[in-house]
Amino acid sequence: MTHNHDWLDTEITALEHAGLRRHLRTVMGAPTGTINLDGRDVVLLGSNNYLGLSTHPEVIAAAVEATQTFGTGASGSRLISGNSEPYTTLEKNLAKAKNTEAALVFSSGYTANTGVIPILAGEGDLILSDALNHASIIDGCRLSRATKKVYRHCDVEHLKDLLSESATFRRRLIVTDGVFSMDGDIAPLPDIYDLAAEYGAMLLVDDAHGFGVLGRDGSGTVAHFGLATENIIQMGTLSKAIGALGGYIAGSRALVDLLINKARGFIFTTGLPPATLAAANAALSVIRSSPELRQRLFSHAKCLKTTLTDLGYTLLPSDTQILPVVLGNPQRATSIADALFAEGVFAPPIRPPAVPPDTSRLRLTVMATHTETEIQQAIDAFATVAQSSVDLYR
């Protein structure tokens, strides 16, 4: 019997026709303001290294030192032999930054969400999830086997309606991004917090894009709103503003204990490399002590947002360093991205399933370490593309 794999080509061709085929690009060098991508130097408007910490000298030094002390790999899962000392330091400092009793690091933000949600909710429970939540939340909900209801994006009234019909469920969990990854807007957390209290629901906030950027000392979206942290479970990632790799859950000691005992995404995988943990820990101190990085980040974001709007691009009303330029169908997003690339700017096109149909976009992100010259180069490229392809944007 022969194995027939023709369907693979058929599927790829279908993606191609729909404008949804994805390709890997190769980056030479570190994620700084200008990178070499596929052999071409371009201004990078598609990095989550918002504060430039992945190349910060103190962060790199910490990673090198940890490698020399602990070696390159963890050599085991955390519950066996992979729980290196840098985990302890990092988790203590994460809990401090998040103002919680405890914190637990996972191998990525993806595994943190898919690990924690099935612990918080299961069969007989209800999860209420924002329509634009990150894919890792969606997958965590699927794994949990709880009933899931999706409320309209940031629509507190809709959330309230769903909560008011939820009395038959054992437990209720509300889950939302703090800063939405593809739109850059901030969840109405104070209202959601009040509803959670009113209906006795748990609240999980995914702060992948808020930490390092929002709130006092960059502590994130919950701090930005000044909410009490006892009743919020804060998830985050070490992979974005922190510039390393990993995810975490910050909350009560009891929650962390339960996760250590039961979360499959925590238990059944190898620990992170000590260098990664030490880098993240060094990045935490830089974040705390460098408000000027946040100021530069927001000043770049504001400048780019205002100028692109003046050029006629349609930007979503983001309040953060994430600036979505909405273009509609996937082909249009790709062709504008290609035109910008030819002008020396990398602005990644984002298409379904990462965003809803007909909202394909360029997801621009700025970094505190962009120079004024690089921001200007980016603006010039957008101006040239706007002139040469009037019919390609709306």
Interacting residues with ligand PLP (CB under 6 A): 108-110, 113, 134, 136, 177, 181, 206, 208-209, 237, 239, 247
Catalytic residue among 98, 134, 209, 370: 209
Rounded to a whole number of angstroms, the minimum distance from the CB of residue 364 to ligand PLP is: 15
Which residues contact residue 265 at a Cβ distance below 8 angstroms, ignoring those fewer than 6 apart?
106, 107, 111, 112, 114, 115
Between 202 and 379, whose beta carbon lies closer to ligand PLP?
202
Between 90 and 339, whose beta carbon lies closer to ligand PLP?
90
Rounded to a whole number of angstroms, the minimum distance from the CB of residue 249 to ligand PLP is: 12
Rounded to a whole number of angstroms, the minimum distance from the CB of residue 133 to ligand PLP is: 7
Between 130 and 374, whose beta carbon lies closer to ligand PLP?
130
Q: Which two tokens stand for residue 296?
A: 């530069």
Between 113 and 360, whose beta carbon lies closer to ligand PLP?
113
Say whether 181 is catalytic.
yes
Say whether 166 is catalytic.
no
Rounded to a whole number of angstroms, the minimum distance from the CB of residue 374 to ligand PLP is: 24
Residue 260 CA: distances (Å) to CA of 98, 110, 115, 116, 251: 19, 17, 10, 10, 13
**What span, in angstroms and rounded, lies between the C-alpha atoms of 49 and 366?**
9
Classify 246 as helix, strand or coil: coil
Rounded to a whole number of angstroms, the minimum distance from the CB of residue 292 to ligand PLP is: 25
Query: Which residue is at the shortest CB distance from ligand PLP?
Result: 109
Beta-bridge mates of residue 43:
34, 345
Catalytic residue among 134, 240, 300, 305: 240
DSSP 70-118: H-S---SBTTTT---HHHHHHHHHHHHHHTSSEEEEESSHHHHHHHHHH
Rounded to a whole number of angstroms, the minimum distance from the CB of residue 136 to ligand PLP is: 4
Please tell me the number of Cα atoms within 13 Å of 178 on its side-chain side: 28
Q: Is 152 left (phi over 0), alpha (psi -120 to 50) or beta?
A: beta
Between 33 and 178, whose beta carbon lies closer to ligand PLP?
178
Query: What's the start-to-end Cα distance of the chain, in Å?
Result: 54
- Please, are residues 163 and 199 in contact by the beta-carbon 8 Å criterion? yes
Between 39 and 353, whose beta carbon lies closer to ligand PLP?
353
DSSP 306-364: HHHHHTT--B----SSEEEEEEESHHHHHHHHHHHHHTTEE--EE-TTSS-TT-EEEEE
Helix axes 57-70, 274-289, angle to 10 degrees: 150
Q: What is the CB neighbour count within 10 angstroms for residue 131?
A: 12
Say whether 240 is catalytic.
yes
Residue 352 CA: distances (Å) to CA of 21, 46, 148, 343: 10, 17, 21, 25
- Please, are residues 180 and 316 in contact by the beta-carbon 8 Å criterion? no
Between 134 and 351, whose beta carbon lies closer to ligand PLP?
134
Rounded to a whole number of angstroms, the minimum distance from the CB of residue 270 to ligand PLP is: 16
Which amino acids are annotated catalytic?
181, 209, 240
